[in-house]
Amino acid sequence: MRRKLIAGNWKMNKLKADGIELARSVFEKCTVNLPFDVLICPPMSLLGLIADMPHGSCGIGSQDVAETIKESGAFTGDVSAKMVCDLGATHAIVGHSERRTLHHETDDVVRQKAENAMAAGLTAVICIGETEAEREGGEALSVVSRQIQGSVPTTATSENCVIAYEPVWAIGTGKTPTVADVAEVHAAVRAELVKLLGQEVANKMRILYGGSVKPSNARELLSVDNVDGALIGGASLKIDDFWGIASTQL
């Protein structure tokens, strides 16, 4: 039985005061025994501050790590996975569609970042997902299969890796795939993980759905076969929305 993971990706949002307040509200909810795991991924500017707060069972993640395998050196602006870990993080998102698109990150880059995160002791949250044109062209399954094969290290396990299926056209748009489409892609992702990692590892690995998850659609999306949690952008910025989503799993 895979335990669900409710994860918030704050993206480039929140200054210090607001970020601390939001983190505190999430952490308060994580002081009791919950039937699911919770993760927040604040911007790098707040990661250390937030990780130093008492955070109960809540995981804390970065939204990226450096591509270089070096832990330190002349890489202006980069933050290595080891540094992220040193700040107190447990997870790192890699390959978010905004990085793949705006920063031209390829599957090879994403896989290297995932390897770096894992080597530093972090759990990599590897994002995949098709664009609108790819979906309309009937290529959704082939795109996510290719991304799995290209972005997921063969050393991935259910402990050091989580997959997040995020159709690019659903991110921040209010649009979501049908339940049948989500089920189809998640089953295909699981099958591709079996090919890459073997049945045992693949069966235990969590596959999150992300893209316009909100309190009103969370119960339905999270009840789809092979959906083991949610990666939440916009709705993770307000405690009532974030916890409204999480509470559907109580």
Residues in contact with ligand PEP, counted by CB under 6 A, come to a total of 13
Q: Tell me the backbone φ, ψ of residue 135, rounded to 5 degrees.
A: -65, -50
Q: How far is CA 182 from the centre of its chain?
A: 16
Site string for ligand PEP, 211-240 (x = CB under 6 A): xxx-----------------xxxxx-----
From 96, 98, 134, 192, the catalytic residue: 96
- Reply yes or no on whether 166 is catalytic: yes
Taking the complex as a whole, the smallest distance from the CB of residue 61 to ligand PEP amounts, in Å, to 12
Q: How far is CA 187 from the centre of its chain?
A: 18
Coil vs helix vs strand at 56: coil
Alpha helices in the chain (DSSP H): 16-29, 44-51, 81-86, 97-102, 107-119, 132-136, 140-151, 179-197, 199-204, 215-222, 239-246
d(CA 45, CA 18): 13
From 105, 166, 186, 192, the catalytic residue: 166
Taking the complex as a whole, the smallest distance from the CB of residue 232 to ligand PEP amounts, in Å, to 5
Our CB check for ligand PEP shows the closer of 151 and 201 to be 151
- Reply yes or no on whether 103 is catalytic: no
Our CB check for ligand PEP shows the closer of 123 and 201 to be 123
Determine contact, residues 228/36, Cβ cutoff 8 Å.
Answer: no
| Residue 172 engages ligand PEP in binding (rule: CB under 6 A) | yes
Cα–Cα separations (whole angstroms), residue 230 to 11, 208, 212, 245: 15, 5, 10, 9
Taking the complex as a whole, the smallest distance from the CB of residue 93 to ligand PEP amounts, in Å, to 8
The one-letter amino acid at 101: T
Site string for ligand PEP, 138-167 (x = CB under 6 A): ----------------------------x-
Determine contact, residues 210/165, Cβ cutoff 8 Å.
Answer: yes
Our CB check for ligand PEP shows the closer of 140 and 197 to be 140
Taking the complex as a whole, the smallest distance from the CB of residue 48 to ligand PEP amounts, in Å, to 22
Our CB check for ligand PEP shows the closer of 27 and 209 to be 209
d(CA 224, CA 216): 15
Our CB check for ligand PEP shows the closer of 144 and 197 to be 144
d(CA 120, CA 118): 5
- Rg over CA atoms, the chain: 17
Site string for ligand PEP, 176-215 (x = CB under 6 A): ----------------------------------xxxx--
Our CB check for ligand PEP shows the closer of 127 and 143 to be 127
Q: Which residues are catalytic?
A: 96, 166
Residues that bind ligand PEP (CB under 6 A): 9, 166, 171-172, 210-213, 231-235
